[in-house]
Each structure stands twice: as C-alpha cells, then as structure tokens.
Amino acid sequence: MLRYTVRRLGQLMLVVLALSVLLFAWLRALPGGPVSALLGDRATPESEAALRADLGLDQPIVLQYWRFVARALSGDFGTSTGVQRGTPALDVFLQRFPATLELAVLAILIAIAVGIPLGYLAARRRGRILDNLSITWSLVGIAVPVFFLAFLLKWIFAVQLGWLPASGRQTGGIDATRVTGFYVLDGILTQEWDAALDAFVHLLLPAIALSTIPFAVIFRITRAAVLDVLDEDYVRTARSKGLAGAVIRRRHVLRNAMLPVVTTIGLQTGALLSGAVLTERVFNIPGLGQALALGFERKDFPVLQVVILASAMTYVLVNLLVDLSYAAIDPRIRTR
C-alpha cells in the first residue's frame, strides 16, 4: 500500500512536469499576450519592447521555461500582471483557493448526498414514477448549462424570493475573524456561529448550481451499478440465507455497487473546477474560477500557470485518494 502510494506520487510529479511544459508553450502561443493586454491602445513599439524585456518575454522560450522552473522550485511563481497586479502569483492562488475549495467540497457533498440514495431508490423502483422522474431530472441536470442554471437559481431564490444571498462569500461588515481562509471553517473554529452560518448560506446557491452535473453523473452510475449488483448470484445467495432486507442492501448490494461510483466521484472533480469558473462569475465569488477567467482576459501568465498546475495536482491527488479508497472497499485490489 505504501509503495503504491509512493509510486503514484512519483507519477504525480511527472504529470505536473509534463503539464508545465505544455502549459508554458501553449500560453505563449495564444494571440495577444500580456504586453498588449497591459498597454492596450496606448502601446507604442518602444513601450511594448520595454515591457516585454521587463517581463522577460524577449528571451528564448526555453530559457524562459528554465527560469520559471528554477524559481518555482523555490516557491516563486512570478508576479501577477493582470489579475492582481504586483502581487506574487502564488499569493493570488492561496488567497482564492479556500473559496473555490469550500464551494467545490459542498457541491460534491450535495451531489453525493442526493445522487447515491436517489440512484439506489431509482434502481429498486425501476421503471416506476420515482425512477422516471429522477432520470428526467438528471438529464436536465446534465443538459442545462451551469451558468444558465446559476442565473436561474440566483434570480428565483435571491432576487425574487430573497431567501438566499445573491453574491459574495459573506455579508459585508460582518465581524468575522480570519484563520484559514475557509470562511465556514473559520466561523466554526472561532465559534463565531453567525459568521459561519452566514458564509454557509452564501455557499448554498452556487454549490447547488455547481453540483448538478456531478449529481447527474453520480445518480446515473449508482442506478446502473445497483441494477447490476441486484442481479448478481451473491445477492441471491444472501436472500437464500433469509437475511433481513436491510442487511442485504447494506452489506451485499451497496458495498459492491459503490465501486464504480467512487471512481466517478474522483473523475467529477475535474468537472467541478471547470464549472466553478462559471458559477463563481455569476455569484461573484473571488475564487480560482474567477482568477482563471480574469487571467485569460488579461493574459496573466504567472497566475494562469500557478492556478492550472495546482488544479491539475488537486485532480491527480483526489484521484489517488479515490484509488486508495477503492482498495479499502475491494479486497481483490488490496490483497493481490
């Protein structure tokens, strides 16, 4: 198990290295570039050349990459040129990371908490009303664009009904102590319950919007997996022993059906990140998604590099965790 984990972490390093090369080259191949983004219409050939030299963009790309790697190894990922000009790119990332993580975690929790039970029930009541309704709902969840749903939720529950806040991470002017940057967690740690609740309420609408696609996928996979498992011989064996329905469901059906679902959950973290770009925009949450959007608009190479590399690392790490939990569920992987 330990050797496996170490080997996977080694793979992670390779993934990050390969991605950094691709990303570096790809960003610099984009039309425009930070110089024209920064100078805009006021650009003269002289000022452009000066700025280009200032940013080190006049150097050969191999040399640029070499410098980037050398600095990155000491924790210096360059300085933001557009998102938050003058701030170290790593700081931009660290400031925004908690907001996105908080949102993504709540979204995936909602997707799991609704998707798995509903998928299970739909499989048990196959072909009946609940099954058909859930399938339709999950189809809608996949088909409706995230930003549209986000706007819709915001318009209904924030603007029309006024039940939930429309934007931001916390009500302005609330007395909240910052500890970790995770606002809900901060509120709990400092026992400022009103601040924690306020931050949580702010998360609800964006998290629901963000959870729809992972929910739909988790629901579908759970339903299919449970249907498969219900037909298995070992479920018949369990019934032939006269076991109580609850024991059969928990011990024999759900446990086996969870294997494909767990894999799906890992893969959905990628979808969460891309969804966060749009959701954060709609709800005006200062998170990574917003940094990405702004970064592309203003061609902020350092920020884009840090954010995308870190996101890729998160993705690989989450899937490593998924594989490890897979081994915990399935002894055939563990004891091979």
State in angstroms the smallest separation of the CB of 320 from another protein. Answer: 21
Q: 């000491």: which residue's tokens?
A: 74
The secondary structure element, H or E, covering residue 71 is helix 61-73
How many Cα atoms sit within 13 Å of 216 on the Cβ side? 20
Toward another protein, which CB reaches closer, 85 or 125? 125
Sole binder of another protein in the list 1, 3, 242, 246 (CB under 8 A): 242
Only one residue has tokens 């452009």, namely: 48
In the block, which residue shows the tokens 């006024």? Answer: 162
Task: Determine, following the binding rule CB under 8 A, whether residue 246 of this chain makes contact with another protein.
Answer: no
255, 311, 313, 321: residue in contact with another protein (rule CB under 8 A): 255
In this complex, which beta carbon is closest to another protein, that of residue 16 or of residue 329?
A: 329
What are 31's two structure tokens? 């039309």
Looking at 60, 75, 86, 331, which residue binds another protein (CB under 8 A)? 331
Distance CA 43, CA 40 (A): 6
Q: Which is nearer to another protein, 76 or 232 (CB)?
A: 232
Compute the least distance from the CB of residue 326 to another protein, in Å: 11
Cβ atoms of 115 and 186 within 8 Å: the answer is no
Give the chain's end-to-end CA distance (angstroms, integer). Answer: 11
Instruction: Kindly tell me which residue out of 185, 204, 243, 321 binds another protein, with binding defined by CB under 8 A.
Output: 243
Cα dist. 39→23, 44, 54, 84, 164 in Å?
Answer: 24, 9, 13, 16, 40
Binding window for another protein (CB under 8 A); candidates: 161-169, 183-191, 251-259, 281-289? 251-259
42 or 332: whose CB is closer to another protein?
332
Q: Dmax over Cα atoms in the chain, in whole Å?
A: 85
- What CA dihedral angle connects 187, 268, 290 and 201, to 10 degrees? -30
The reply on whether position 247 binds another protein by CB under 8 A is yes
CB of 296 to another protein, least distance (A): 45
Site string for another protein, 200-239 (x = CB under 8 A): --------------------------------xxx-xxxx
Q: In the complex with another protein, which residue's Cβ is closer, 67 or 125? A: 125
Q: Could you give the CA distance from residue 298 to residue 286 in angstroms, rounded to a whole number?
A: 16
Distance CA 110, CA 116 (A): 10
- At 93, which amino acid appears? F
Residue 50 or 235: the one with the smaller Cβ distance to another protein is: 235
Q: Supply the minimum distance, in Å, between the C-beta of residue 232 and another protein.
A: 7
CA dist 178 and 13 (Å) reads 32
Count interface residues toward another protein (CB under 8 A): 22
Whose Cβ is closer to another protein: residue 53's or residue 247's? 247
Q: Which stretch binds another protein (CB under 8 A): 59-67, 151-159, 249-257, 277-285?
A: 249-257
CB of 233 vs another protein, minimal distance in Å: 4
* Cα–Cα dist 48/65, whole Å: 21
The verdict on 191 binding another protein (CB under 8 A) reads: no
Alpha-carbon distance of 275 to 107, in angstroms, equals 10
The closest of 219, 204, 333, 313 to 269, measured between CA atoms, is 313
Q: Which residue's entry shows tokens 């086996």?
A: 256
188 versus 238: smaller Cβ distance to another protein: 238
By beta-carbon proximity to another protein, the closer residue of 164 and 324 is 324
| Contacting residues toward another protein, per CB under 8 A | 232-234, 236-244, 247, 251-252, 255-256, 329-332, 335
